[in-house]
């Protein structure tokens, strides 16, 4: 009888341990434009709202007008554009040691990843039907469609792209690689164009009349804080020239502003650099 009770107790402890892990919160929706949906593992699909919990194994889907920003527990950020479908397939993070790993599957659409603690260790992977993308210490924008394949733009850090045809590494900011399918080798990095930069900035941004899920922001349009169709004043032109320096400056502004919006406490300043820059990782 004692042995049976012990076995039952052990089984109950196992279910208690496994149960919360299956519904583990890995992040929070910090901005949402309609309509964006989430489907937790074994659950029903619901419309996301600001403050919604993002769970391990959750499927995220945005409509043609929807977009969402997710803030993860390691302080990384995922900006998800309209017409996008992805799954937070794996997310493990130990804040005590700043260790773990993240795996996201992008099946269709566009996203921008801004690194946190896990990316600094090279522990972040995003897969598409055409490639596996490893991210170390950086920020990148990626998209995938069945007609054009996968596009990867490195904005900061190191991005390693692999598939059945080979591997390409992007180390320079402002360079892009296109991968047509899983069995075709990734193309060589080329400099991103001003047109591509503008396209992805606009596609990943809220549209006129959207408020990111925060009521009241629409009224700012009349005060000049929003622009778009039938808006006053008109949208300003992109404040950079189509040059390598201008594009990289614009990308860095986006990265820095997103970090400021999602980081509750500014990180301490880095120690003074010593030695040759060529020896830095």
Closest by CA to 111, choosing from 215, 268, 236, 258, is 258
Task: Give the SS3 label for residue 3.
Answer: helix
Least confident segment among 6-10, 149-153, 196-200: 6-10
Q: Which CATH class is domain 23-213+225-261?
A: mainly beta
Residue 88, CB half-sphere, CA atoms under 13 Å: how many?
A: 29
Residue 178 is predicted with a pLDDT of: 97
* Structure tokens, 185: 């080798």
| pLDDT-derived band at 20, boundaries 50, 70, 90 | very low
Residue 7 pLDDT more than 50? no
Residue 108 pLDDT more than 50? yes
Q: How far apart are CA 100 and CA 117, in angstroms?
A: 9
CA 67 to chain centre: 12
Residue 280 is predicted with a pLDDT of: 40
Average pLDDT value for residue range 96-119: 94
Average pLDDT value for residue range 57-74: 94
Q: How far apart are CA 143 and CA 279, in angstroms?
A: 32
The per-residue pLDDT of the chain, averaged, comes to 77
């Amino acid at each position: 009888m004692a042995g049976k009770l012990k076995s039952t107790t052990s089984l109950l402890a196992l279910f208690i341990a496994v149960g919360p892990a299956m519904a583990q919160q890995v992040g929070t929706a910090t901005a949402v434009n309609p309509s964006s949906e989430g489907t937790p593992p074994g659950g029903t699909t619901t419309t996301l709202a600001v403050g919604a919990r993002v769970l391990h194994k959750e499927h995220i889907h945005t409509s043609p007008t929807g977009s969402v920003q997710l803030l993860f527990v390691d302080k990384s950020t995922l900006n998800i554009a309209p017409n996008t479908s992805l799954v937070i397939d794996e997310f493990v993070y130990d804040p005590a040691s700043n260790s773990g790993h993240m795996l996201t599957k992008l099946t269709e659409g566009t996203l921008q990843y801004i690194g946190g603690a896990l990316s600094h260790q090279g522990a972040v992977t995003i897969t598409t039907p055409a490639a596996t993308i490893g991210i170390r210490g950086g920020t990148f924008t990626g998209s995938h469609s069945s007609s054009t394949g996968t596009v990867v733009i490195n904005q900061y850090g190191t991005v390693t792209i692999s598939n059945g045809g080979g591997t390409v590494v992007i180390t320079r900011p402002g360079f892009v690689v296109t991968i047509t399918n899983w069995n075709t080798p990734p193309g060589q990095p080329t400099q991103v164009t001003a047109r591509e930069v503008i396209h992805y900035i606009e596609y990943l941004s809220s549209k006129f009349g959207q408020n990111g899920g925060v009521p009241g922001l629409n009224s700012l349009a009349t005060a000049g804080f929003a622009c778009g169709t039938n808006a006053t004043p008109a949208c300003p032109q992109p404040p950079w020239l189509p040059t390598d320096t201008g594009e990289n400056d614009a990308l860095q502004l986006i990265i820095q502003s997103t970090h400021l919006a999602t980081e509750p406490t500014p990180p301490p300043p880095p120690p003074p650099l010593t030695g040759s820059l060529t020896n830095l990782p």
